[in-house]
């Protein structure tokens, strides 16, 4: 029974840890499917986290915090769009720039506004998203097997967790069952064809980037307003890049993305849980190995040793109309 409880706990923290990855990964999915590489996910999450925690602390409202996080994150996504769509700049350069501006400005502004060494004030109850206890969760907690699964795994998360998982079928539906999704996929594969059909490539790509901004904003808000109760400098700590890795791992598909993020979240949760205690068969696994595993797996996948990851064909190429 102890073993079972331990497993449930690891899975519970897997869910918590994979939510920001999942949101960022789906965010990246929108822009990359539309043909815009976005390595600025990290930066957009970071500004989202900062804006969300600051606004929530100042206005004493979690919802205002979430709204601000989305707003600022979308603004950064639009800067990326301005550089890479309107001015046909290098998308990777632009993404790198956004990451730097985000990393620097969150610290500078945080210090100037709150004077707590780059932190935002600790959020009070009501300023962050509380866990939602599902009906009957406490009542059946003691029932073996089902009890802990229902009470720990399914119930007791914040609204943003459920939002993130709801975004998976929603994104699938948008991508494969709506006109917008069809056009978005087309613009990522062959923008010239979309242009010939009389549809604005630029406007379509901008809309995809706005979706990206919304989702990275929510991801940031989750980090600072659910997981942590306040903003800490550099709190994304490479999650944007792991999300990028997960996106490749998922071959740019929403449902795969969820499993990839759960896998990377599980690796994270397991390495926290193990903390140097030996595993059966393999013995002691260094924590650094577990941390590096998502990146190693992605490299192996990219190299084509586990299936083949084929990115959207027009990804990274600015669209130039025939003249």
Partner 1 sequence: MSTPYAKLPAWADYGLIPLINLSVAFIVAGFVVMLVGENPFRAAVILVEGAFGRGTGIAFTLFYATTFIFTGLSVAVAAHCSLFNIGTEGQAYIGGLGIALVCLSLDSVMPWWVIFPIAIVAAAAFGALWGLIPAYLQAKRGSHIVITTIMFNFIAASVMVYLLVGALKPAGSQAPQTRNFLAGAELPKLNWVIELFGAKIRSAPLNICFLLALVMAFLVWLLIWRTRLGYEMRTYGHSPKAARYAGISETRIIITAMMISGALAGMMALNPVMGDQHNVAIDFVSGAGYVGIAVALMGRLHPVGIVLAAILFGMLYQGGAELAFEMPAISRDMIVIIQGLVILFAGALEHMFRPYIQALFASVSPKSVGMQAVKGTGA
Interacting residue ranges for partner 1, rule: CB under 8 A: 37, 39, 79, 82-84, 87-94, 96-105, 107-109, 111-112, 238, 241, 244-245, 248, 286, 288-289, 291-292, 295-296, 298-299, 302-304, 309, 311, 320, 323
The least CB distance from residue 249 to partner 1, in Å, is 11
Residue number, 140 or 293, with CB nearest to partner 1:
293
Residue number, 40 or 230, with CB nearest to partner 1:
40
How many angstroms separate the CA atoms of 31 and 210, rounded? 9
* Cβ-contact 180, 304 below 8 angstroms: no
The least CB distance from residue 192 to partner 1, in Å, is 14
User: Which residues are CB-neighbours of 10 under 8 A, at least 6 positions away?
Assistant: 266, 269, 270, 273
Sole residue written with tokens 């062959």: 190
The least CB distance from residue 42 to partner 1, in Å, is 10
- Give the burial string for 124-154 (b: 16+ CB within 10 Å, else e): eeebbbeeeeeeebeeeeeeeeebbbbbbee
The least CB distance from residue 319 to partner 1, in Å, is 11
Residue number, 18 or 84, with CB nearest to partner 1:
84
Residue number, 83 or 160, with CB nearest to partner 1:
83
How many angstroms separate the CA atoms of 282 and 99, rounded? 38
User: Which residues are CB-neighbours of 3 under 8 A, at least 6 positions away?
Assistant: none
Residue number, 32 or 127, with CB nearest to partner 1:
32
The least CB distance from residue 233 to partner 1, in Å, is 8
Q: Which two tokens stand for residue 241?
A: 């890049």
* Integer CA distances (angstroms), 114 to 52, 58, 64, 121, in order: 14, 10, 18, 7
Q: Which two tokens stand for residue 41?
A: 């996910």
Residue number, 78 or 103, with CB nearest to partner 1:
103
Phi-psi region of 310 (alpha: psi -120 to 50; beta: other; left: phi over 0): beta
Q: Which two tokens stand for residue 205?
A: 């790509």
The least CB distance from residue 89 to partner 1, in Å, is 4
């Amino acid at each position: 029974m102890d073993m079972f409880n331990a497993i449930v706990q690891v899975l519970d923290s897997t869910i918590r840890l994979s939510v920001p990855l999942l949101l960022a990964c789906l965010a990246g999915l929108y822009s990359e499917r539309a043909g815009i590489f976005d390595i600025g996910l990290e930066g957009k999450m970071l500004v989202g986290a900062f804006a969300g925690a600051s606004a929530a602390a100042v206005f004493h409202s979690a919802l205002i915090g979430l709204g601000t996080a989305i707003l600022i994150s979308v603004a950064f996504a639009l800067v990326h769009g301005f550089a890479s769509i309107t001015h046909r700049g290098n998308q990777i350069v632009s993404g790198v720039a956004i990451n730097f501006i985000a990393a620097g400005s969150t610290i500078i502004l945080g210090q100037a506004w709150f004077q707590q060494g780059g932190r935002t004030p600790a959020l009070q109850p009501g300023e962050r998203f509380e866990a939602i206890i599902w009906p009957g969760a406490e009542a059946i907690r003691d029932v073996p097997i089902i009890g802990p699964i229902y009470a720990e795994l399914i119930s007791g998360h914040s609204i943003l967790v459920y939002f993130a998982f709801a975004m998976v079928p929603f994104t699938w539906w948008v991508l494969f069952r709506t006109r917008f999704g069809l056009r978005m996929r087309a613009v990522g594969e062959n923008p010239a064809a979309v242009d010939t059909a009389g549809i604005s490539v630029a406007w379509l790509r901008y809309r995809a980037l706005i979706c990206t901004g919304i989702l990275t904003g929510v991801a940031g808000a989750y980090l600072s307003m659910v997981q942590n109760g306040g903003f800490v400098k550099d709190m994304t700590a490479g999650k944007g890049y792991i999300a990028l890795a997960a996106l490749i791992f998922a071959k740019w598909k929403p449902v795969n993305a969820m499993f990839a993020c759960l896998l990377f979240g599980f690796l994270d949760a397991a390495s926290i849980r193990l903390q140097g205690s030996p595993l059966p068969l393999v013995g002691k696994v260094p924590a650094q190995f577990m941390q590096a595993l998502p990146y190693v797996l992605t490299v192996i996948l990219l190299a084509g040793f586990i299936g083949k990851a084929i990115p959207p064909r027009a990804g990274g190429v600015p669209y130039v109309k025939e003249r």
